[in-house]
Amino acid sequence: MITIGVADTTFARVDMGGIAIDELKKIGTGFRIERYTVPGVKDLPVACKKLFVEKNCDLVIALGMPGAQEIDKMCAHEASTGLIHVQIMLNKHIIEVFVHEDEAKDDQELKFLAERRAREHALNAYRLLFKPEELTRLAGTGQRQGFNDAGQIR
Amino acid sequence: MITIGVADTTFARVDMGGIAIDELKKIGTGFRIERYTVPGVKDLPVACKKLFVEKNCDLVIALGMPGAQEIDKMCAHEASTGLIHVQIMLNKHIIEVFVHEDEAKDDQELKFLAERRAREHALNAYRLLFKPEELTRLAGTGQRQGFNDAGQIR
Amino acid sequence: MITIGVADTTFARVDMGGIAIDELKKIGTGFRIERYTVPGVKDLPVACKKLFVEKNCDLVIALGMPGAQEIDKMCAHEASTGLIHVQIMLNKHIIEVFVHEDEAKDDQELKFLAERRAREHALNAYRLLFKPEELTRLAGTGQRQGFNDAGQIR
Amino acid sequence: MITIGVADTTFARVDMGGIAIDELKKIGTGFRIERYTVPGVKDLPVACKKLFVEKNCDLVIALGMPGAQEIDKMCAHEASTGLIHVQIMLNKHIIEVFVHEDEAKDDQELKFLAERRAREHALNAYRLLFKPEELTRLAGTGQRQGFNDAGQIR
Amino acid sequence: MITIGVADTTFARVDMGGIAIDELKKIGTGFRIERYTVPGVKDLPVACKKLFVEKNCDLVIALGMPGAQEIDKMCAHEASTGLIHVQIMLNKHIIEVFVHEDEAKDDQELKFLAERRAREHALNAYRLLFKPEELTRLAGTGQRQGFNDAGQIR
């Protein structure tokens, strides 16, 4: 059976992994879920690699909430670089769902943003595995996850 | 038969993938096209890798439209690094066609730029596969894709 | 027997490796420890790789104290990138415990921070190996190592 | 026979590849040259990899002229990272000859700089292959390619 | 017999490679030295890789003197990233000895710094190979190479 991995962190201030799992279950069936929680975003690349090779995942959703400081931006960059590296080693997608603390004006907006981005990217993950033609139909339409879509330029 | 991959995103605000395909068909024959659409530019490296190993592509055109903010620049950098990594793993070209939102002064110019750059790079892709001697003839002549050529220094 | 590696530096101004070992011994049993000290943080990636392949470590804690200048930030970035690379080569965790000199307002706070972060990450290392379910229970709760936890957004 | 690859771009505003080839022919014999022209500097890493594995090159000179804007600096960085990666994959040298547009005060100086740097690095390439002892003799003497040598500190 | 590689550049303005070799010979015996000089720091990663695989080195000291400009900082970063990559490919240490031109206030201080750092890191290299327990004894004591030690926080 298709297996979707969910890798998340104890650093995040919202249970993004739990939300992604909730959304996946609402979207469809035909897959099972493996969850793996690590301390921070820099632990996510190997967590994803382990989900692929030890838990036979077909795709992983990697969720994290980098802080607002310069050093946090660098951590997020290092994590993202690692996530891309894992993907091209294995030819499997990792959907990165990062919400930066300074994207939101306060805690409530941060929570809203984290939840909505996690849910919308859970749908992207589902589409990549089960309905890639839906993504092709949306090509070049300015989709965004979390805040409003930018839309296609007419 | 030679296969050209076209990897694009739902994030872009112009259907750059569709435009590249349109241009390829105008330029020549002797190849078929495989298209793969993913959410954003950071998903492009693995998309290209999959096009090479799962769809037998000989070259991939990877198109995306990174946003104007600092974080978007970093995403583009991570994507580009991954695209180069895939190329050197497989000894195959990926023609990166990125248009940054802040390269244009308004939506209409952005659309114009995205279309023209996609078309001009489709020609580069074709040349790499079928007419590399045309590129050698243009060596050091200040070619640009999108805006006007810079030209050779006399 | 499970083996935990501890890689540290002569550059750090606090014996972070010794503190991590002390904490590991307080936390539990069922593992042995291998320590390897190198000059600076840029030597840590290969130190960890050697601990994994030459000393059969199952997880490594890598501790360092990058300086406050721009060049030191870059060294830390290069080290972190290498640490992530080693992890995904081997499918093993490296818990990075870096304390930047400019995170603290004076030497005493720096020492306090280095000790507390080393101890809290020793616990994270233990959990990854022996009690991963404890980390899942803490997912999205805003854990921090060193300073106070940020906490979950309600 | 020893084969020297020359990888250059259509983006450059001076025929740096042609100049490097001209210089190589003046310097010596005992080698043949393979040239490969690609659109821009980000295409150079895979071009070099192909020259090594498909054309049996023993060393490649990679020439490019990154633009003056921030985005161009990032492209050059990504290209350089890829060029180093190719070298360590294959244990072969790539002599990178990049001239940044903002290194020169006007077009004529840029042309002068591009030509002189290409010629001086062609000599470096030749030395690495045929006369490495000449480089050892120059160790620590402040050699520069293009502008004047900095010289050794007495 | 244990072999120590010394990789240096013609770009440096002080014969750092020669100094490191001089120091190694003063420190001890039981090893032989292989020297390899390349044009600049970006050529060092492959130089080290070649010293390991073609000359059977057990450890390499890589010495360079990056310039003071932004572009030089980037070159140093790319070189460092490559040096770490080579180390984790081969499980061998490369002791990077870089002196940035702007670390010193004038040429004489630069020369002093380059010499002292090269000598102190030659000792680190020797310890890694022959006396690792000396490094463990110095863990967390704020060692510096070149300028004065920072010392341990009491």
CA distance A65 to A76: 9
pLDDT attached to residue B14:
98
Confidence band, pLDDT 50/70/90 cuts, at residue E143: very high
Q: pLDDT digit string (tens) for C67-90?
A: 999 999 999 999 999 999 999 999
Looking at residues E87-98, what average pLDDT do you find? 98
pLDDT band at E120 (very low <50, low <70, confident <90, very high): very high
3-state secondary structure of A13: coil
Strands C2-9 and C59-64, bridge-based pairing? parallel
Express each pLDDT in C4-16 by its tens digit: 999 999 999 999 9
H/E element holding A6?
strand A2-9
Instruction: Compare all CA atoms of chain D with the CA of E10 and give the residue at the minimum distance.
Output: D139
Cβ contacts of A8 on chain C, cutoff 8 Å:
139-140
Q: What is the pLDDT along chain D (154 residues), one digit of tens a residue?
A: 999 999 999 999 999 999 999 999 999 999 999 999 999 999 999 999 999 999 999 999 999 999 999 999 999 999 999 999 999 999 999 999 999 999 999 999 999 999 999 999 999 999 999 999 999 999 999 999 999 999 999 9
Q: What pLDDT sits at residue D25?
A: 98
Strands A31-38 and D2-9: what pairing?
A: unpaired
Q: Do E140 and C108 touch (CB under 8 A)?
A: no
Distance between CA atoms of residues B13 and A154, nearest Å:
9
Confidence bin at C55 (pLDDT 50/70/90): very high
- Among candidate residues B145, B151, B150, the one with its CA nearest the CA of residue B61: B145
Interface test with C, best of E61, E75, E88, E152 (most C CBs within 10 A): E88
Asked if A87 and B85 touch (Cβ cutoff 8 Å), the reply is: no
Nearest by CB: C139 against A37, A85, A110:
A37
**Are E61 and E20 a contacting pair, CB within 8 Å?**
yes
Q: Which residues of C touch A89 (CB under 8 A)?
A: 88
pLDDT at B77: 98
Helices D16-27 and D107-130: crossing angle in degrees, nearest 10, is 40
Q: What is the DSSP letter of A8?
A: E
Note which residues in 113-152 of chain D have CB less than 8 A from chain B. none
Query: For an interface test with D, which of E8, E10, E35, E77 has the most D Cβ atoms less than 10 Å from its Cβ?
Result: E10
Q: Does the distance separating the beta carbons of E143 and C15 come in below 8 Å?
A: no
Whether the CB of A105 is below 8 Å from some CB of chain C: the reply is: no
C in contact with D (at least 3 C-beta pairs within 8 A)? no
pLDDT digits (tens, 9 = 90+) for A44-97: 999 999 999 999 999 999 999 999 999 999 999 999 999 999 999 999 999 999
Smallest Cα distance from D45 to chain B, Å = 7
Check: pTM over 0.95? Answer yes or no.
yes
Distance from CA of A37 to the nearest CA of B (A): 22
The tens digit of pLDDT for each residue in E55-85 reads: 999 999 999 999 999 999 999 999 999 999 9
Average pLDDT of E27-48? 97
Place of tokens 């690379």: C85
D103 CA: distance to closest CA in chain E (Å): 10
Listed as ranges, residues in chain B with pLDDT below 70 are none
A14 touches chain C (CB under 8 A): yes
| Nearest chain D Cα distance for residue B134, angstroms | 9
Interface test with E, best of C69, C73, C78 (most E CBs within 10 A): C78
Query: Tell me, what's the ipTM?
Result: 0.97
8 Å CB contact of B38 and A93:
yes
- pLDDT the model gives residue E86: 98
State percent of chain C over pLDDT 70. Answer: 100
β-strands A2-9, A93-98 pairing: unpaired
> Which residues in chain C touch residue A9, judged by CB atoms under 8 angstroms apart?
139-140
Q: How far apart are CA B130 and CA A38, in angstroms?
A: 48
Mean pLDDT value across chain E: 97
pLDDT at E58: 98
User: What confidence category does residue E17 fall into, taking pLDDT thresholds of 50, 70 and 90?
Assistant: very high
Task: With H, G, I as helix, E, B as strand and everything else as coil, classify residue D58.
Answer: coil
Give E82's contacts in chain D (Cβ within 8 Å): 81, 84-85, 87-88
